[in-house]
Amino acid sequence: MNFCSHCGAADIAFRTPEGDSRERHVCANCNSIHYQNPKIVVGCIPVFEDKILLSKRDIQPRKGFWNIPAGFMENGETVEQGAIREVREETGAKVEIVRLFAIFNIVHVNQVYMIFLAKMSEPIFAAGDETSDVALFKLNEIPFSELAFESNKFVLNKYLEDSNLSSIHIGSYNHTF
């Protein structure tokens, strides 16, 4: 951090503020503390009949690999709204959230993922601005070797293992692919 977002000063120090237990960016000019916290990523496993909808990434990282539709939350939305928005942006599909399916951390990049199980009422979808392709896959056709991230493999493996789809799956990763 080079400048204070509160006063614009360039006098930022990395120190432990009084009453805190962690080092933070602190402005020496106005004493504003700049907290840096994990980002929340939300998405869905969109299901139509016995198939799962995946999107092929058209952006880095991992351009050209298949992905569960997901992305960063925006201010002013709930996790459910963000997950539905991400599915719509990446696949053009309309989904209805069934329930929370998985929560996991990718510690080294400070991200927390919340993935929902969602129903598609009809098989209508199309690639969005960040995707080059979208397809429905039967469970035995999921392209595991072409998935973008370990987090995708974790979630989809849990989906395959959880025959009644009733558990919330929790995990942590120290790498992204």
84 and 68 housed in the same domain: yes
128 and 164 housed in the same domain: yes
Here the CATH number for the domain that contains residue 26 is 2.20.70.10
62 and 147 housed in the same domain: yes
Q: Encode pLDDT of 79-101 as tens digits.
A: 999 999 999 999 999 999 999 99
116 and 154 housed in the same domain: yes
Range(s) of the domain holding residue 154: 39-173
76 and 158 housed in the same domain: yes
Q: How many domains, in total, are found in the chain?
A: 2
94 and 136 housed in the same domain: yes
* pTM across the whole model: 0.85
pLDDT at 30 over 90: yes
Q: Encode pLDDT of 117-165 as tens digits.
A: 999 999 999 999 999 999 999 999 999 999 999 889 999 999 998 866 7
59 and 74 housed in the same domain: yes
15 and 60 housed in the same domain: no
23 and 46 housed in the same domain: no
Q: What would the 3-class secondary structure string for 75-134 be?
A: CCCCHHHHHHHHHHHHHCCCEEEEEEEEEEEEHHHCEEEEEEEEEECCCCCCCCCCEEEE
C-alpha distances (whole Å) from 3 to each of 8, 15, 27, 29 are: 5, 15, 8, 11
23 and 56 housed in the same domain: no
